Structure 1
C-alpha cells in the first residue's frame, strides 16, 4: 500500500531568513510599539495598542491586555526612554518560516535595561504587531539569548492565536533559561 504525503513548501523547509527592512524601518517599529505600550500602561487604556496590531493580535481585548500588563502598570514601568536611546539588537529582523518578522534586543540603561522580543505580521503591505514580550533585566553588554515568542504551527494545524506576554524579571545567567510569560 502506498501513501501520499504532502510535501512541505520551500518556505516551510527553510529556516528564518533576514528581513528586507532598513534601519529606520526597524527603529520605527520598535519605538512605536514600545511607546504605545508605555502610553497604554500609563493611561490604563489599551485600545490603541490593540488596534495597532494585526487582526490576529486583536483577539486580545483591551481588558485582556490590561490584565497581561498589570504588573508593569502597578510598578510604574517607564518606557519613554526608548524614544531617545538606540536599541541593541540580539536577533536581527528575520522572517520566520510562518511569515512573521521577528526581532529581539534591549535598550541599555542603568541600573536596568529594557529587553524586548517583537513579532510582526504582514497586513496590507505593512508590518503590524503580532506579539510582544517586554521585561526589565540587569544592565549588561549583551542581551540574553532570545526565547521563542511564537511557535510556528504544525503543518496541518491552524496557527494559535497570538497573545501579548507579561513582563517578567530576567533570570540570572547561572539558572537554566526558560521562556518568558
Structure 2
C-alpha cells in the first residue's frame, strides 16, 4: 500500500491526558453534552487547525487549542514530533471544512468525563476518519486525544 494511501495517527497521549484530566476534573468543571452543531464545530476546528499546523510545520496554534493537561505534557515541539510523518508526507485534509461530518458512533461522555467523538468525512480522493477526545478545560471542551486516518 503506498504511503499516501493510509496515514494512521494514534496519539499515545490520549490515555495520559484522559487520566490526568480525570483527576483534575471536578463537578464544577463538568460540561453538558454539546449539541450536534457544536460537536461538528469542535471536530472541524481541531482537524483544520491540525491541517494548518502540518502545512506550516508550526504547532503553536494547535497547542493553544488543546486541554491544559495535554498542553503541559505536549509542548509544540513534542506535538511536531508526534505528527512528523504527516509533515514529511505533506498530508492535506482541509477539505473537511466543506464536508458534512458522518458520525460512526453516537457522541458520549465517558466515565472519566471525556467527550468522545468518532466519525469520518467522505472527502475525495482520500477519506478522513477521526477519533477525538475532549475534556473540560478553561471552561470549554478542549482536545485531550486524537486519532486520525487518511486513506
Moved segments of 4+, more than 2 Å: 109-112
Q: TM-score scaled to structure 2, two decimals?
A: 0.74
Greater relative CO, 1 or 2 (CA 8 Å, sep 6+): 2
1:61 to 54, 60, 75: 75
Tell me if the contact between 2:106 and 2:117 (Cα under 8 Å) persists in the aligned partners.
yes
Q: Counting helix residues as a fraction of each chain, which structure ranks higher? A: 2
The number of aligned residues is 119
CA displacement at 1:127 relative to structure 2: 0.3
Within-5 A mapping of 1:96-135 = 96-135=110-149
Match of residue 71 from structure 1: 85
SS of equivalent to 2:104: strand
Does residue 33 of the first structure (1) align with residue 46 of the second (2)? yes
Q: TM-score scaled to structure 1, two decimals?
A: 0.63
SS of equivalent to 1:33: helix
Match of residue 37 from structure 2: 24
CA displacement at 1:112 relative to structure 2: 2.5
CA displacement at 1:77 relative to structure 2: 1.0
Q: Which is higher, the Rg of structure 1 or of structure 2?
A: 1
Unmatched 5+ residue regions in structure 1? 1-18, 138-181
Rounded to whole Å, the distance in 2 between the matches of 1:94 and 1:125 is 19
